[in-house]
Amino acid sequence: MKPKSFYIGYLPSVPREYAKPTWVAACLMALFLIAAMGMLAASQEVADAGTYEFGVLKPREGFLRTDPVPMLTVGDQRTGSINNYLLVGATKEGPPAEFLARAGEQVRFDGTLVRRGSQLMLEVGPAESWQFLGAPSSLLPPPKQLGTMTLRGELIDTKCFFGAMRPAVGKIHRGCAVRCLSGGIPPALRVVDDAGNESIVLLAGRSGTPAPVNPEWAGLFIDATGPVEVDGNTVVMRLDVARPVRK
């Protein structure tokens, strides 16, 4: 009877009866790892959409408003459309008070874009870039009134949600959202219908006053009631009352 080959580790080659099963086992292990990585990747949640052009300052021009919230309104003469850019300051705060003091004027300044789909925001750049150009040449069309509604959704801070932070919803982001809302970032309601369609409703008070909503409710579901209007690319609720949903 022929003796079985014996593998010695310091020899330059492996006997055939050992090499073949080892190679097969290595290939099967590689295929298993590839399949496992694919399943793990597929099970992950898709990262929030959004763009934050951090550190990129570009010239911006439009009509400066503080009602319903601080925003820059830019009209497209070619299409006749109106886009509102919510205005914020650096980090977790609203735009500078001395900048907002010139509301009602046409302004030009350097700003950083934050964007999520049709939702737009600008981080106001350094004061040396500010130029105030006086009253605009034309008046804005009035917003379309949709009537008083009660909506349920998650209270979010718009800066992080539009693209400055990921993830920007739920309990994992709640601490950051509370600080952002406390610092003057405009609040909004994230409403998701039964089909999974998402809508963002900006929350504002009456006549340019802040929305009467508790920043500590950030990341929680609330019921919000008030008149709703469509202002350019922005849906706004003039919030009358809000309360957290008790679960």
**In CATH, what number is assigned to the domain containing residue 195?**
2.40.50
User: Is 43 part of a structural domain of the chain?
Assistant: no
User: Is 71 part of a structural domain of the chain?
Assistant: yes
Same domain, 112 and 169: no
* Per-residue pLDDT reduced to its tens digit, 61-110: 999 999 999 999 998 777 778 899 999 998 899 999 999 999 999 999 99
- Does this model's pTM top 0.75? My answer is yes
Please report which confidence band the pLDDT of residue 149 belongs to, taking 50, 70 and 90 as the band edges. very high
Sign for the pseudo-dihedral over CA of 179, 181, 184, 185: positive
% of residues, the chain, pLDDT over 70? 89
Same domain, 190 and 212: yes
Domain residues for 167? 144-244
User: Is 73 part of a structural domain of the chain?
Assistant: yes
User: Is 209 part of a structural domain of the chain?
Assistant: yes
Same domain, 148 and 237: yes
User: Is 5 part of a structural domain of the chain?
Assistant: no
Q: How many domains are there within the chain?
A: 2
